[in-house]
Structure 1
Amino acid sequence: MVDDDEDDLLVFESVLNSLSPSTRFRAFTTGIDLLAQLSAETPDLIFLDLNMPGMNGHECLRRIRGRGMHALPVIAFSGSDFGRVIDDSFSSGATMFLTKPMSMQQLSAQLTALFVLDWTDPGTIRRAQRQGERFVPFSAI
């Protein structure tokens, strides 16, 4: 997960550990740190905050895709869920857009629903986020 808000990182890690204690969690506070790590290790899934100082999530995502990592699932994770933000995320190469929840219970529901998806073909998950001409945030309901 990449997020400049350390509280968000701690909450996310806490919820993830309660749902899946065996899952290995790595936190980065900048996209630059993530990109440096990607040279040595490729994760199974990335949660990427969009609103970060310096290199924002859209630029980080474009750089990930520019490295040829098109099959790596990247979930754009943001408190801003305006249509343009969502569209820009998918244009940059996001697999999914997830709106940051208001509570740990909502995050738990989102992650529970997200982790039962079949991630062997991220393209299928990406296409499922499209409704008509627009992309929509993932919904746990």
Structure 2
Amino acid sequence: MPRFTTLIVDDNTVVRESVAELLRTHFPAMAVVQAGNSDEALDQVFRLTPDLILMDIKLPGQNGLQVTRRIRSQPAQQAVVVILSGNDLPEYRDAARRHGAEFFLSKSLSSGHDLLQVVQSVYTRKLQAG
């Protein structure tokens, strides 16, 4: 079975650890790595080539949208990007799509269930694709 790697990018350690624990509980075979800022995120992306990136929109250094655009500028990077934001504003959703994110989830409105549904969808697609 191919290895599936998820990168969690958030400057809040508690958020990163909570999401990582949720994923490890529901997807024990998934490799989960973390980054706390844009530089760490880009280093992890280009070193590990993750399958899924859960990216906070607000980060120290470049914001999550800028990081997503940089990832999308590299043809070898095929990760699915989910932008996470504390604000569920239409302009944030639109900006996430314009910068190359496939999904947008509001941290304040989304439950762990919503996040798990998105992750399950991406995980299943990857495993079916081989």
TM-score computed with the length of structure 1 as normaliser: 0.74
- Whether the aligned pair in 1 keeps the contact of 2:11 and 2:59 (CA below 8 Å) is yes
User: Which of 4, 25, 28 is matched with 2:11 structurally?
Assistant: 4
Identify the residue that residue 27 of structure 2 maps to in structure 1. 20
Shift of 1:4: 0.3
Identify the residue that residue 114 of structure 2 maps to in structure 1. 110
What are the within-5 Å matches in structure 2 for residues 68-107 of structure 1? Answer: 68-69=75-76, 71-101=78-108, 106-107=111-112
- State the secondary structure of the residue aligned to 1:52: coil
1 or 2, which has the higher strand percentage?
2
Identify the residue that residue 40 of structure 2 maps to in structure 1. 33
Larger radius of gyration: 1
Cα shift readout 1:11-60 (whole Å, capped 9, x = no counterpart)? 11121122122211100001211212222220110000001122100110
Instruction: Point out where structure 2 has 5 or more consecutive residues left out of the alignment.
Output: 1-7
Instruction: Point out where structure 1 has 5 or more consecutive residues left out of the alignment.
Output: 121-141
TM-score computed with the length of structure 2 as normaliser: 0.80
- Whether the aligned pair in 1 keeps the contact of 2:87 and 2:108 (CA below 8 Å) is no
Letter in 2 for 1:95: E
Q: Distance in 2 between matches of 1:11 and 1:102?
A: 16
1:47 aligns with 2:54: yes
What is the percentage of aligned positions where both structures have the same residue?
Answer: 28
Residues 57/91 of structure 1: CA separation in 2 closer, same or farther (3 Å cut): same
Q: Distance in 1 between matches of 2:30 and 2:77?
A: 23
Shift of 1:80: 1.1
Paired residues in the alignment total 117
